[in-house]
Amino acid sequence: MSVFQDAIANFLSPIADLLKDPQISEIMINGPFEIFVEKKGLVYKVPNRFADDDALMASMRAVAQFVGRVIDADNPRLDARLPDGSRIAVVIPPMAKCGTTVAIRKFSEEKLGLKDLIEFGSVSREGARFLDCIMYLGKNTLVSGGTGSGKTTMLNVLGGRMPKTQRLLIIEDAAELQVKAEHVVRFETRKGNPERGIKEVTIRDLMESALRLRPDRIIVGEVRGPEALDLLNAMGTGHDGSMGTVHANSPIGACTRLETLCLMGETRIPPDAIRKMVGATLQIIVQCARYHDGGRRTSHISEVLGVDEHGRYVVRDIFRWVQTGKDENGKFIGEMVPTGYIPTFFEEFVANKLPFPKTNFKPPEWLAAHLKKAA
């Protein structure tokens, strides 16, 4: 057994079977007696339990010590990466009213590709080919979605489709991405600890270093602060094909979210200038969603066209997922279809002889009737 597996046996024994189950993607502990798991996109309660809150708290202290951190009354929150790549977040009482609260997002060693996403029903064959083409052309892309919607998986897949001749720099708060590319450099932030004289290293710090290391493209694993402005600057200054993820529920919401994050820092750039910068720099938004049947699907692939005269983002859907029904097991029936909109850069497809004819943007004949009926 590895050192980490030994540690599980010692202080995470009540949930050791859950950690080993490959079908479980997340473990949620709401106090010692209430444990839920996410399995195949749906959440279930399981019979596992800790003896009491003291036992659960002792386990979390052991986890924190194992990863070189502390969780106590002065440090009531823990957000760390376990040695196997899993992420753990902990909040302890009195902030956590239900008792020590834990969420463990398990690390998956399974490396997926576009073909896998097609087989899973996450994206259509034409949608996958389109994504492949925009990665080749180096379109600045934002992957948007809620928690557990498949953003990291999508970013892994897209990053693996960039040309082999390019150098990719990945910056993350906690290393999760598993991009299969030939030339990859990975950076991870570091939490500060003034008592030990350890200085914090932020995503913004690493962005500054990354721009001096001759990247062709930059990926920020999760954009959730003022580093959004640094990513936009990189996208607009020759690092075409750079990417990141944000938490948002729609393509337009993703633009607004990125704008808000840019304004979180000490920037003196006016909000309307930031909005125009977002509209001019972003090109493609891939919207991921987790549906009520547990399925994770790409709900939209959209082009950002800028900002109109009223200061509103102009976004056009190129592909979108349309639900047409539900089967006897409660699974949604539907498919990703083209909307009929042809992206403004289609001439680049032709110039580069990419195998994606204009007819692939033609919507199916049934779509108009279905949308009319739904309305």
Q: What CATH number should be reported for the domain holding residue 307?
A: 3.40.50.300
193: three-class secondary structure by DSSP: strand
Query: Would you list the DSSP string of 271-328?
Result: HHHHHHHHHHH--EEEEEEE-TTS-EEEEEEEEEEEE-TTS-EEEEEEEEEEEEEE-T
Count of domains forming the chain: 2
Q: Are residues 51 and 186 in the same domain?
A: no
Q: Are residues 99 and 126 in the same domain?
A: no
Q: Are residues 281 and 142 in the same domain?
A: yes
Q: With pLDDT > 70 as the criterion, what percentage of the chain qualifies?
A: 96
Q: Are residues 218 and 366 in the same domain?
A: yes
Pairwise pLDDT comparison (67 vs 55), residue with the higher score: 55
Q: Are residues 81 and 141 in the same domain?
A: no
The answer to whether 248 and 257 have CB atoms below 8 angstroms apart is yes
pLDDT tops 60 at residue 126: yes
Q: Are residues 219 and 367 in the same domain?
A: yes
- Residue where a domain stops, chosen among 105, 123, 143: 105
Q: Are residues 136 and 247 in the same domain?
A: yes
Question: In sequence order, what are the beta bridge partners of 286?
Answer: 143, 301
Which letter does DSSP use for residue 216 in this model? S
pLDDT tops 50 at residue 148: yes
Peptide bond into 270 cis (omega under 30): no
Name every residue whose Cβ is closer than 8 Å to that of residue 74 and which is 6 or more positions away in sequence.
none
Q: Are residues 130 and 36 in the same domain?
A: no
Domain of 47, CATH number, reads 3.30.450.90
pLDDT tops 90 at residue 173: no
pLDDT tops 60 at residue 3: no
DSSP E strands, the chain: 24-30, 35-39, 42-46, 77-81, 87-91, 101-105, 141-145, 168-172, 184-188, 217-220, 243-247, 284-290, 296-307, 313-326, 332-338
Q: Are residues 266 and 215 in the same domain?
A: yes
Closest C-alpha among 55, 52, 94, 51 to residue 76: 94
- Residue where a domain stops, chosen among 66, 87, 105: 105
**Which of the listed ranges 147-151, 298-302, 332-336 does the model predict with the highest average pLDDT?**
298-302
Q: Are residues 209 and 124 in the same domain?
A: yes
- Residue where a domain stops, chosen among 84, 105, 126: 105
Please compute Rg for the chain using Cα positions. 22
pLDDT band at 54 (very low <50, low <70, confident <90, very high): very high
pLDDT for 1 equals 43
The answer to whether 19 and 8 have CB atoms below 8 angstroms apart is yes
Q: Which structural domain range is residue 271 located in?
A: 114-374
Q: Are strands 184-188 and 24-30 parallel, antiparallel or unpaired?
A: unpaired
Closest C-alpha among 235, 314, 330, 324 to residue 275: 314
pLDDT for 318 equals 98
pTM of the model: 0.86
Q: Are residues 127 and 95 in the same domain?
A: no
Q: Are residues 164 and 91 in the same domain?
A: no
